[in-house]
Structure 1
Amino acid sequence: MNQLIIKAAACCCLLFLPAGCAVPSASNSHTGNDSQSAKVSADKSDQSQRKLVSAKVIKVIDGDTIKVRLNGKEETVRLLLVDTPETHHPRLGVQPYGPEASQLTHHLLDGKTVDLELGLGGGRDKYGRLLAYVYIDGQSVEEELLKRGLARVAYVYPPNTKYVDEYRAIQKEAQRKGIGIWSIENYARKDGYHPEVIKSNKNRAGKPQSAPRESSFEPDKNGNCDGEIKGNISSRGEKIYHLPNDRFYKITKAEKCFATEKAAEQAGFRATKN
């Protein structure tokens, strides 16, 4: 009889759940797992929203423009949200750091197959060029240009503003370092590039009043420097830099990259003896 009474009481407790009979729910006991599952779901949702199409790069025109073969058709692609200095503009000619930006895009994309995240709202500019975010092996080309100080955030027009906050944060860091286009005061502005400031900064002796700051940057995951000077630290702590035409340049894994020998020497590196 006592056992029957206990079982009946337990059943009542489960049916009506008074405060004294509350039991922990399954969801409460797995809060950590649910949180992790929600994060994974959010990540998958974000990836699904990034719709990518593959295209073969036919030609790199300049830092921010390439030609690709997409769906059997040749297309000119303009990188979204960035602008690099000109290299062969009919009116503006070659602008400072234009060749460097073009060189980086060549290095990243020549002959490669890229992923394009096409722009919204028709995805073309007034010249008929396809607008897209460009990726190579999961790496954003826009971000690489901004990181090296070889592009500015520009042409921010809705609805294609998806990554503008991230790009501006990267640009801000390049500005802080004073590298590339940001090494020349007032050269890169909201309305474009102003090479004339270089001429206006010359003193009577014809020398720049304030030379651009020398730049350095981090190597990629394989220790390469995009054809720039490699700074290597030996097991004995010796700091040595290697020029692109040095004997051991290709097999050297860099700890630091430099735009000029002067920048390498200022950082405490010496030239290799080969």
Structure 2
Amino acid sequence: MTFIGSLMAIVLLSGCVQFDESGQSDVSSATTPSPESSTPAESASTASGNSQVVVNKVDVPRGAVNAKVIKVVDGDTLQVLYQKKISTVRVLLIDTPETHHPKLGVQPYGPEASAHAHQLLDGKTVALELAKNGGRDKYGRMLAYVFVDGKSFEELQLASGLARVAYVYPPNTNYVDHYRAIEAQAREKKIGIWSVSGYAEANGFHPEVMKGTEAYKETQKSGGQASSDAAESTTAGQPSPTQAGDCNGAIKGNVSSRGKIYHMPSDRYYKVTKAEVCFKSRKDAEKAGFRAAK
């Protein structure tokens, strides 16, 4: 019985998927931070509720900077208070479905990815491992790896099936192999964006294959393509916002629980507002049903 019991223990242990992330903790390192050896593996919450992918706590990289989360924009973007000013951070190496894109509308699992980001980040102080050489994306957003409560935010989104590995551009490729390993587990378990084959692909997300699913129905409740159509109709002849929600000096229109609001370039929160539509004049904004920010 002792031999059999030992054999069963070995089999059970061999079935647990763990990652040995040992490596340097320097920010410029191309390896993954080391898990805390004294901390047992913890499971990330997942979109399926049944399958779980393990995400370990890690040592925050040496040289990472602390920043207070001001706002969660969506599943892969946030605003933080850094060096006494509010900056938009685009999380490195992952991509989540859209929630309020002016043309793509709401994509399946976009609301879930955003909600999970809120759950993880709201009111938190995070550690940012900034992109090498202070790199920013084409929209001027800071690029960084994000760590919250001792865990990688990227890993938590990937493990929950709410993100895919994307935008892998040297020299900012730290942890990419590890991220892909976590993504592979979520895909194998058919969690979230991987629940329907063909939805999450190398070239982005394909909502058409999700028709009939609960996730697709949820996008219709949130406005779905209708919101996209509405945006296009209200911005006919108007400048379009960038993916980062910038209007390049034009009036910004934003839809929230407070209704449709427009922000003038001189307004206090103009720079930190992510626009869903842009307008050339107050008259155009008001004609589309937007009111001035207070």
| TM value normalised by structure 1 | 0.56
Question: Equivalent residue of 1:175, what SS?
Answer: helix
Q: Deviations over 1:219-262 (max 9, x none)?
A: xxxxxxxxxxxxxxxxxxxxxxxxxxxxxxxxxxxxxxxxxxxx
* Structure 1 partner of 2:205: 193
Hey, which of these two has a bigger chunk of helix by percent?
A: 1
Q: Take 2:76 and 2:170, find their aligned partners in 1: how far apart are those partners? A: 19
User: Are the aligned partners of 2:160 and 2:186 in contact in 1 as well (CA < 8 Å)?
Assistant: yes
Find 1:53's aligned residue among 48, 54, 65. 65
* Structure 1 partner of 2:127: 115
**Match of 2:73, as an amino acid?**
I
Q: Take 1:53 and 1:120, find their aligned partners in 2: how far apart are those partners? A: 13
Q: Take 1:133 and 1:69, find their aligned partners in 2: how far apart are those partners? A: 16
2:50 matches 1:72 = no
Q: Take 2:209 and 2:151, find their aligned partners in 1: how far apart are those partners? A: 34
User: Are the aligned partners of 1:87 and 1:98 in contact in 2 as well (CA < 8 Å)?
Assistant: yes
Deviation at 1:184, TM superposition (A): 1.2
Q: Take 2:94 and 2:26, find their aligned partners in 1: how far apart are those partners? A: 24
Deviation at 1:118, TM superposition (A): 0.2
* Structure 2 partner of 1:244: none
Find 2:149's aligned residue among 137, 148, 151. 137
1:198-213 equivalences under 5 Å are 198-199=210-211
Deviation at 1:185, TM superposition (A): 1.2
2:105 matches 1:93 = yes
Q: Take 1:137 and 1:198, find their aligned partners in 2: how far apart are those partners? A: 33
* Structure 1 partner of 2:178: 166
Q: Take 2:128 and 2:193, find their aligned partners in 1: how far apart are those partners? A: 26
Identify which of structures 1 and 2 has the higher relative contact order when contacts are C-alpha pairs closer than 8 Å and 6+ apart: 2
Deviation at 1:122, TM superposition (A): 3.0
Q: Name structure 1 gaps, 5 residues minimum.
A: 1-42, 200-206, 213-274
Q: Deviations over 1:153-202 (max 9, x none)?
A: 00000000011000000000000000100001100000000001224xxx
Q: Take 2:186 and 2:124, find their aligned partners in 1: how far apart are those partners? A: 27
Q: Take 1:148 and 1:48, find their aligned partners in 2: how far apart are those partners? A: 27
2:137 matches 1:125 = yes
Question: Equivalent residue of 2:161, what SS?
Answer: coil
2:75 matches 1:63 = yes
Deviation at 1:137, TM superposition (A): 1.8
Q: Percent of counterpart pairs with the same letter?
A: 63
Q: Take 1:162 and 1:135, find their aligned partners in 2: how far apart are those partners? A: 14
Question: Which of structure 1's runs of 4+ aligned residues deviate more than 3 A?
Answer: none
| Number of aligned positions between the proteins | 161
Q: Take 1:96 and 1:135, find their aligned partners in 2: how far apart are those partners? A: 26
| TM value normalised by structure 2 | 0.52
Q: Name structure 2 gaps, 5 residues minimum.
A: 1-21, 28-60, 216-294
2:195 matches 1:183 = yes
Let me know the Cα RMSD of the aligned residues. 1.9
**Match of 1:148, as an amino acid?**
S
